[in-house]
Amino acid sequence: MPPANAHSALDLLDLVGLTGLMQRTVGIPQVVVGLIDGPVAMNMPHFAGQTVRELPGERGGFCSRASSTACMHGTFVAGILSATRGSMPPGICPGCTLLVRSIFAETDDVPCATPKELAVAIIDAVKAGARVLNVSTTLTQRSTRGERELEEALGYASRRGVIAVAAAGNEALVGSSSLTQHPSVIPVVSCDRKGRPTAESNLGSCIGRRGLSAPGKNVTSLGSNGKPLTRSGTSAAAPFVTGAIALLWSEFPSASATQIRLAVTRTRGGRRRAITPPLLDAWAAYQAMHDACPRGGP
C-alpha cells in the first residue's frame, strides 16, 4: 500500500490542469512518446491493450530483472504516462504509443548514463518516430566530446520537430546541466501539493526561464512487481509535462512543436527573472491551442 501521505492521482492531475484535458482524450497512437529511461515491466494488466514498442539498443527495453533499480525506475515513469485509465497510476496518455528506449543497465544501483549514451538514444528515438521525449537520467563520465554529441542530438531532435522534456535533477543545486540548459529542452522541477518546489529539486536561470514545475512529491505509480510504488523527485514530475504535451498533440495533430511548446510554457504576465519555473497548467495550454487552432481539435 502507498504511504498515508501519498497524494491521489486525481489531486495531482487537478493541480496541473490535466483533469479536463484527460476527459477529452486518452491520446492517439500517432503521437509517439519516447521514454528514454530504464526498461519497463510490461507483463501486467495496467498496460493491457496499450501500444508499446521496444526500441533495441545496447540494453533491452523490457525488464529481465524486475527487482533492478533500472526496471523499477522505467516502470514507474511508464505507469504515469501509459497505464490504463482508472487503474492506480495516473495513466495520462495511454492511447498514445509508448516507445521504450532503455539506457540504464539493470546491474546499476543508480539510474545513470553518459552524455554519449543519451545522445545515441535521442537520435534512435527520433528516427523511430517519437514526437515528444521523456528523459530522466543522471549524466556521468562527462567529456567535451560527449557533451558536444549530446548538444548535436538535441539539436537534431529540435530540427525534426520533437519536444524534449527532461527531469531537472535532484541534487538541490542551483545551476543547469548540459541537458537542461539546451534551448530546445523543457526542464521539469518537482513540486509539492501546494505547487512549491521540493527541497531536492535543481533550480537555475535556464530552468526558471524555460522550464515547468509538476507534481513530484509522494507520487504513486507502478512498481516493477505490479504493486503500487510511491516515489518523489523530478523523474516523477517530468512525465506529467510529457503526458500533457502528448494529449495536446492528440487534440491538435497538425500543430507544430513551436505551437505546442509555447502553449505549455507560456504564463500570464510573462516570465520573471527567477530560478523557479511556473507550475504546469495543461488546461490553460489546451485553451490557448483551441483559440489559436480552432479547427485543430474535435
Spans of all domains in the chain: 9-292
Mean pLDDT lowest among 45-54, 157-166, 269-278: 269-278
Instruction: Give Cβ neighbours of residue 188 (< 8 Å, ≥ 6 apart).
Output: 165, 166, 167, 168, 211, 212, 213, 214, 234, 237, 238, 240, 241, 277
Could you tell me the fold of the domain covering 9-292? Rossmann fold (3.40.50)
Mean pLDDT lowest among 53-62, 119-128, 168-177, 223-232: 53-62
From CA 98, how far away is CA 82, in angstroms rounded? 7
Q: Is the pLDDT of residue 4 over 50?
A: no
Q: Is the pLDDT of residue 104 over 70?
A: yes
Which pLDDT score, from 0 to 100, does residue 5 have?
45
Q: Which helix (H) or strand (E) holds 139?
A: strand 138-139
Q: Indicate the DSSP class of residue 28.
A: -
Which pLDDT score, from 0 to 100, does residue 1 have?
46
Which pLDDT score, from 0 to 100, does residue 270 have?
62
From CA 31, how far away is CA 285, in angstroms rounded? 17
Q: Is the pLDDT of residue 2 over 50?
A: no
Give me the helices (H) in the chain, please.
Answer: 9-15, 18-24, 69-82, 115-127, 144-159, 205-210, 234-251, 257-265, 282-292
Neighbours of 58 (CB within 10 A): 10
Q: Is the pLDDT of residue 268 over 70?
A: no
Average pLDDT over residues 103-131: 91
Average pLDDT over residues 30-49: 92
Q: What does the angle CA 83 – CA 109 – CA 188 come to, to the nearest 5 degrees?
A: 50
Surface-to-core class of residue 294, CB atoms within 10 Å of its CB (0-12 exposed, 13-18 middle, 19+ buried): exposed
Average pLDDT over residues 182-207: 94
